[in-house]
Amino acid sequence: MININNIQYQLSETDGVFTLKNKNTTLGFVRFDDKGEVEYIFVNPIFRKQGIAKKLLKLVREKTGKKLVLQEPISPLGSKLLRSIEKWN
């Protein structure tokens, strides 16, 4: 298991998209608008359950300064993620 706080990653931002990559692959990405609406979030299955989605969402919140809203449809994993971030949103 990889701890996001202990891995080296590259963060890039273009047109409302944050992408986290390591040397070999994309770890995950999130697409959002300036109102804090998350249009799409994806974490590479190999790197799931390691805090990457939460890291991406925190970056969106810092960037927009808005309460995050996940757009429909929300998958079962997305619903679980939304419940977990409601505590700090």
Which domains occur in the chain, in start order? Answer: 4-83 (3.40.630.30)
Q: Could you give the CA distance from residue 26 to residue 70 in angstroms, rounded to a whole number?
A: 21
| pLDDT at site 6 | 56
**Average pLDDT of the residues of the chain:** 80
Cis peptide before 73 (omega within 30 of 0): yes
Amino acid (one-letter) located at 16: G
pLDDT tens for each residue of 21-59: 888 888 999 999 888 889 889 999 998 888 899 889 888
pLDDT category of residue 1 using cuts at 50, 70 and 90: very low
Q: The pTM is what?
A: 0.77
Q: What distances in angstroms separate CA 55 from CA 18, 28, 68, 70, one per listed residue?
A: 10, 10, 13, 15
